[in-house]
């Protein structure tokens, strides 16, 4: 507003002043020409009238008096749009005829143009000896020592322009004052708040998430921007807190998983291997003492070896599902549903997927089924794998106790739902959409769409 309104206002004022001054100069030139022609024409008319009276009454020109002339007829030049007067004076500056009231103060001999006209000069001058200024045209009367003076009010001719010119400084003052107020308003309520908002945004980037909490006294739009920035900072802070909680939970879960694997290896696999060592010693003794029992001992040892192999395979499947790469996604999902005693519904053929996408479907299904088995107390669990055109959907449903889903996923970590948070992160990494729908006592649905 400042850099647009102020220059335009100043340009308009300059053009207006220039136009008024140019118009006044043109009007002065026109008025000078018209009054010059008029005073000369009237002087010539009076001279001709004097000659006519002298011929008609058989007098000399010097004997004709002003009263014998029909001056009222010739010198009444009433103008509807101007204030004017006409005065005819003799060589002594005595008034012979007067029309109009526009006369200066003082003795007539001292009036502007009288002495010049009596000296045989004619001209048009502009005077400011009155309040508003006048046009004075004077000329001598041919063959007589008389002077004709025409006075016309310049203010009456140019009153609208003069009033406009007089009010221009006030208009300029208003324009400058308005621009100054606009500048002050812009600096106080736009520029300074934006600078303050920029500084607070930088502080938010450095980790001060409450930097945009307080108002900065700017215009409504900047205050709304500050509020949006504060909301965004809170969301980033919540995301960071959720991420820290999630990373902590993942580390804790890893440690727990390692401890569980260590216990199972120690309690099962290692014990089986110890038992195998004992069986090998017993077989060695049996070979020398009771050869007939060697077959039974070897059978027991073979069974222990098979159990150990199965335990190691179970550990391996828990760490990484090799059969997912060997058999594909659907057989792997079928294995998961069988282990969870769930129903599997397949509609369509799985489209080509990257290994990351296949693993995401498998892990999300595995986690959702484990949650339904461990936490939902569900009577029925159903896994649906549906392919519709370019959309592939995995849905795990149960009729368990359900829970209240937070309005924002960052609150999942606060509620302890780290598994759901991990599923969501897996879905995002492969470009999928993850959703959880649950109502207390009405079951839960976990859905991945790709």
pTM: 0.45
Going along the chain from its start, the domains and CATH numbers come out as 2-162 (3.30.450.20), 320-450 (3.30.565.10)
Greater model confidence, 6 or 403: 403
Whether 213 has a pLDDT exceeding 70, the answer reads: yes
Q: What is the pLDDT of residue 9?
A: 72
Whether 26 has a pLDDT exceeding 60, the answer reads: yes
Per cent of the chain over pLDDT 70 is: 80
| Averaged pLDDT for residues 189-200 | 88
3-state SS class at 412: helix
The pLDDT tens digits of the residues spanning 242-292 come to 777 766 676 666 667 767 766 766 666 767 777 777 777 777 676 666 666
Q: Can you list the alpha helix ranges (DSSP code H) found in 142-269?
A: 154-186, 192-205, 220-264
Q: Can you list the alpha helix ranges (DSSP code H) found in 66-153?
A: 71-75, 114-118
The pLDDT tens digits of the residues spanning 390-413 come to 999 999 999 988 888 877 666 666
Whether 48 has a pLDDT exceeding 50, the answer reads: yes
Q: What is the pLDDT of residue 156?
A: 62
Q: What is the pLDDT of residue 102?
A: 72
Task: Decide the pairing of beta strands 433-438 and 391-398.
Answer: unpaired
The pLDDT tens digits of the residues spanning 407-433 come to 766 666 666 667 788 888 889 889 999
Greater model confidence, 126 or 163: 126
Q: DSSP secondary structure string, 232-265?
A: HHHHHHHHHHHHHHHHHHHHHHHHHHHHHHHHHI
Furthest-apart CA atoms within the chain: distance in Å: 193
Using CA atoms, how far residue 4 sits from 175, 179, 180, 222, 248, in Å, is: 12, 10, 13, 22, 57
Whether 7 has a pLDDT exceeding 80, the answer reads: no
- Give me the chain's average pLDDT, please: 80
Q: What is the pLDDT of residue 337?
A: 92
Whether 361 has a pLDDT exceeding 70, the answer reads: yes
Q: Can you list the alpha helix ranges (DSSP code H) found in 265-293?
A: 270-289
Cα distance between residue 115 and residue 125, in whole Å: 14
């Amino acid at each position: 507003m400042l850099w647009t309104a102020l220059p335009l206002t100043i340009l308009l004022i300059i053009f207006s002043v220039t136009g008024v001054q140019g118009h006044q100069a043109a009007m002065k030139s026109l008025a000078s020409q018209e009054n010059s022609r008029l005073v000369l024409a009237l002087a010539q008319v009076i001279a001709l009238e004097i000659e006519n009276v002298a011929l008609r009454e058989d007098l000399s020109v010097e004997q004709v008096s002003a009263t014998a002339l029909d001056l009222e007829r010739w010198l009444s030049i009433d103008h509807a749009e101007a204030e004017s007067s006409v005065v005819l004076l003799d060589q002594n500056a005595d008034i012979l005829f007067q029309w109009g009231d526009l006369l200066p103060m003082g003795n007539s001999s001292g009036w502007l143009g009288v002495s010049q006209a009596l000296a045989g000069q004619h001209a048009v001058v502009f005077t400011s000896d009155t309040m508003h200024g006048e046009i004075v045209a004077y000329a001598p009367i041919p063959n007589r020592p008389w002077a004709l003076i025409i006075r016309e009010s310049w203010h009456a001719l140019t009153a609208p322009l003069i009033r406009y010119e007089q009010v221009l400084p006030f208009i300029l003052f208003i324009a400058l004052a308005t621009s100054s107020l606009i500048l002050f308003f812009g600096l106080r309520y736009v520029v300074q708040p934006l600078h303050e908002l920029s500084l607070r945004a930088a502080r938010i980037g450095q980790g001060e998430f409450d930097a945009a909490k307080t108002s900065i006294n700017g215009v409504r739009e900047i205050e709304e921007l500050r509020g949006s920035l504060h909301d965004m900072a809170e969301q980033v802070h919540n995301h960071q807190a959720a991420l820290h909680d999630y990373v902590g939970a993942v580390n804790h879960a890893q440690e727990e998983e390692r401890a569980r694997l260590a216990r199972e290896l120690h309690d099962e696999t290692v014990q089986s291997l110890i038992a195998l060592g004992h069986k090998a010693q017993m077989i060695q003794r049996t070979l020398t003492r009771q050869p007939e029992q060697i077959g039974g001992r070897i059978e027991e040892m073979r069974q222990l070896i098979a159990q150990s192999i199965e335990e190691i395979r179970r550990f391996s499947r828990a760490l990484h599902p090799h059969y997912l790469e060997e058999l594909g996604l659907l057989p792997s999902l079928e294995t998961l549903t069988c282990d969870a005693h769930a129903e599997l519904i397949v509609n369509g053929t799985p489209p080509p997927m990257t290994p990351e996408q296949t693993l995401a479907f498998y892990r999300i299904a595995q986690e959702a089924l484990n949650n339904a088995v461990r936490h939902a107390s569900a009577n029925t669990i159903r896994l649906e794998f549906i392919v519709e055109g370019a959309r592939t959907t995995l849905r795990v449903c149960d009729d368990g106790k359900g829970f209240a889903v937070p309005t924002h996923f960052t609150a999942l970590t606060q509620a302890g739902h780290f598994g759901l948070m991990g599923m969501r992160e897996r879905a995002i990494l492969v470009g999928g959409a993850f959703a959880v729908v649950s109502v207390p006592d009405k079951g839960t649905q976990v859905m991945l769409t790709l």
